[in-house]
Amino acid sequence: MYCTRWIRLGKISTSLAWVFAVVLVLLSGIAYRVLASHLKFVTANPVSLPVPLSAFPVQIGDWVGSDLSIPNTTKEYMERNFADDFFSRRYINTATKSWADVYVVYCSSQPGGMLGHQPLVCYPAHGWIHDSTEPSQFTSRTGRQLDCLIHRFHKPAPAYDQTVVLNFYILNGQITTEENDFSGPFGRRPNIAGNSARYIAQVQISSVLENSIRVAAENITDMILDFLPDDNGEVRAAGYVHPISDNVKNTE
């Protein structure tokens, strides 16, 4: 009698276990589909900055900029894989006639997409030969000392072109030159919450002369940082820039 009762209880327990397992699988599947749907929505819809980078001033002091064309295939790749916002512009100093190309990309919805997006990868992929890289610093107009890397490249004959690239990243408002700072699981995972203050941005300033990129960096970087969330999540440019077109009034 007791043996029969235990057998019945065992069968009931086994049945309940199977029911629980099936329910758990169903709930896991539902949760996965909801998460996957939300993730697809996040990655398909860029995280917007309070002030878009297209509103970045075309004139900063003596520096006057004009947009550089980006091939559609490159632009589509950037937008599909990592770029929520970006601009590429050549600035010419009206006083000295020196010039520098300024490229800024903001990556928030898929921060991990920024990994590998660096001069040491991108320039050789376009035919440039790497000559050297060295850590350096520069001081912005407001007196802030910023770390950067200086990369030098050239193209072989018959081109004989040379370029110098100043590069650094901004990770949630903090300056870094190391991909290791955002290559871990936390840095790579998608920004499901759509928080614009969780991001990785890259700044590249390039020209044929090192002095040109240093002077441009000293004069333009403070404005770049104003357009990106600081370590408190605030965007200073939102307090004084009201974009009504792709170009903003001059900033002296």
Q: What is the pLDDT of residue 146?
A: 98
pLDDT at 12: 56
What pLDDT is stored for residue 201 in this prediction?
95
What are the sequence ranges of the domains in the chain? 1-44, 53-239
- The pLDDT of residue 75 is 76
- Distance, in Å, from the CA atom of 49 to the CA atom of 68, rounded to the nearest integer, reads 21
Q: What are phi and psi of 195, to 5 degrees?
A: -80, 115
pTM given for the model:
0.78
Q: What is the pLDDT along the chain (252 residues), one digit of tens a residue?
A: 555 554 555 555 555 555 555 445 444 444 434 343 444 444 557 889 999 999 999 999 999 999 998 877 777 777 777 789 999 999 999 999 999 999 999 999 888 788 888 999 999 998 999 999 999 999 999 999 999 999 999 998 888 899 999 999 999 999 999 998 888 765 556 767 778 889 999 999 999 999 999 999 999 999 999 999 998 999 999 998 875 544 444 444
Q: Which residues lie below 8 Å from residue 91, measured CB to CB, with a gap of 6+?
A: 60, 63, 64, 65, 99, 100, 101, 102, 216, 220
What are the φ and ψ backbone dihedral angles of 166, each rounded to 5 degrees? -95, 125
- Residue 46's contacts (CB-CB under 8 Å, 6 or more residues apart) are 79, 83, 84, 85, 108, 109
Whole-number Å distance between alpha carbons of 145 and 60: 19
Task: Quote the CA–CA distance of 47 and 191 in Å, as a whole number.
Answer: 9
- DSSP-derived secondary structure letter, 48: P
Structure confidence at residue 1 (pLDDT): 53
For tokens 């072109």, the residue is 161
Residue in 224, 222, 227, 221 with CA at minimum distance from that of residue 240: 227
